[in-house]
Amino acid sequence: MEHKVPRAAKLIALHVEELGQIAATLPTPFIFLGAGQVNMPLLRNVDLNLLLSLEALLSEENVSRAAMKLNLSQSTVSCHLSKLRVSFGDELMVPLESGRGMVLTPRAVLLGEKLSHVLPLLDALVSNESSFDPTHSVRRFCIATVEPDPSSIRLVPTLISYVRLMAGPGVELHLRSVDRRDALSELESGRSDLLISSAALVPSALRSRSLASESLVFVQRRGHPRGVAPLTLDSYCSLGHVVSRAVAGERTLVDDALLPLNRARNIAIDSQSIGVLVELLATTDYVAVVPLSFALKHAHDIEHFELPFELPPIAVSASWHQRTHHDAGSIWLREMVTHAAVKFNSSARARLIEAGKSIHHQPDGFQFAPLPVASL
C-alpha cells in the first residue's frame, strides 16, 4: 500500500543536499552520488553538536550572547569557535576595527543561511516524537475485512462515518476485502493498516484489541413454513442451512458446539458472499446462524430465534502489525475504531430494545467481553 510522504519527510529529503553543502565547505571534498544520496566521509568526524554553537554564534555575532543563548560558559563557546574555525578552515567571525563586536566572513554568512534550514530538520529527525493531526495531515489508511465475516462488516459503516466526522479532507479511508489466509501479509507488507475481523481470524503474530462481543442467533425468512415455535435440536439439524466460511469445508463454531451432542446440521449451501447469504435467507426456506446485529439489520425480511444449544458470543477485534504500533497516525486510527465500536454497540442496544417486542426468545445481545471464537 502506498502512503503519502509526510511533508517533514519531503523537506528532510530536499535538504540532505544542503547538509552536504555545509560539510563540503570543509577541506576534504565530498562526492554527490545522486538524488537524495550524499557521500559525506568527513561529516563522520565532525561533532554535530558544534553546529548548534555555530548557529548561535552566527545569529548573535557575539561569543558572550551566544553562550547565554546556549546556556554554556563563555569559555566553552570560545573553545567551540576555535574548533569550528579549524574544521571549516575559516575565521568565521572577525573582530571589528573598533573592537566592539564581531563581523561574519562570507563563508559564515553562507553557512548561516544553510543552517537555518538544516538544524530544524535534524532536530525533527532525531526527535522521538511523531505527530499526526487528523484535521490537517494528509494520510491514506486502508482497513481490511475478511470475507465472509458479517460481524466485522456490520461495524465498518459506523467506523467510516465516525472517521469522516473527526478527520479533515486530507485523510482518506480505503476498504479491502481479503482472504483470512492473507491477513498477516496484508498488514506486514503495509497494504493494509488495520484488520477488523472475528477474533478467531486474527493471526497470532498480530497485535489486537477487542472491540465487542455479540450473540449468535438462528434466522429464517418471515413466513417460513417452520412457523415461530421455539427451536428444538431435531428441527434445527433437519433444516437446510446456509453457512458462511472463508475456506469451504472447514469446521465452524456451530460444528464444534454440536459435536459433543453427537449431532450435525444439514448444510445445503456453502457461501463466501454476504450478499448471497442475505438473498437466500430472504427468499428461500434455508436457515442460518448469524450475529444478532446482522439479524436486526435485515429484520424486515428475516426473523431470529434463540438456538437450542449453547453457543458462545462471537468477538470482534481490531488487529495491526508491530511495524505500525508506535506510528502516530495508526494510533489515532485505532482510537477511532474503538470509539466507533462504542457507538456501534450503543446503537445496536437501542435497536435491540426497539425490536424487543417482535423478537422470539431474545438473547442477551451485545457485550464487551472478548471471547475466543471460530468462524460460523
Distance between CA atoms of residues 371 and 199, nearest Å: 8
- Counting every residue written for the chain, the total comes to 376
Beta carbons of 310 and 113 less than 8 angstroms apart: no
At 348 the pLDDT is 62
Cell numbers for 302: 428475516
Residue keyed to cell 451485545: 366
Distance between CA atoms of residues 73 and 12, nearest Å: 32
Please name each of the domains of the chain with its CATH number.
7-126 (1.10.10.10), 139-213+315-354 (3.40.190.10), 216-312 (3.40.190.10)
What radius of gyration, in Å, describes the C-alpha atoms of the chain? 32
Beta carbons of 212 and 341 less than 8 angstroms apart: yes
Instruction: Encode pLDDT of 29-63 as tens digits.
Output: 333 333 344 445 556 666 777 888 998 999 888 89
Annotate 267-301 with DSSP letters as a single string: EEEEES-HHHHHHHHHHSS-BEEEEHHHHHHTTTT
Instruction: Encode pLDDT of 267-284 as tens digits.
Output: 999 887 777 888 999 999
Beta carbons of 268 and 240 less than 8 angstroms apart: yes
pTM for this entry: 0.58
Residue keyed to cell 449431532: 263
Most confident of 128-137, 197-206, 221-230: 221-230
At 81 the pLDDT is 92
Beta carbons of 261 and 281 less than 8 angstroms apart: no
Mean pLDDT of the chain: 78
Instruction: Encode pLDDT of 98-141 as tens digits.
Output: 777 788 999 999 988 888 778 877 776 666 556 788 988 889 99
At 263 the pLDDT is 94
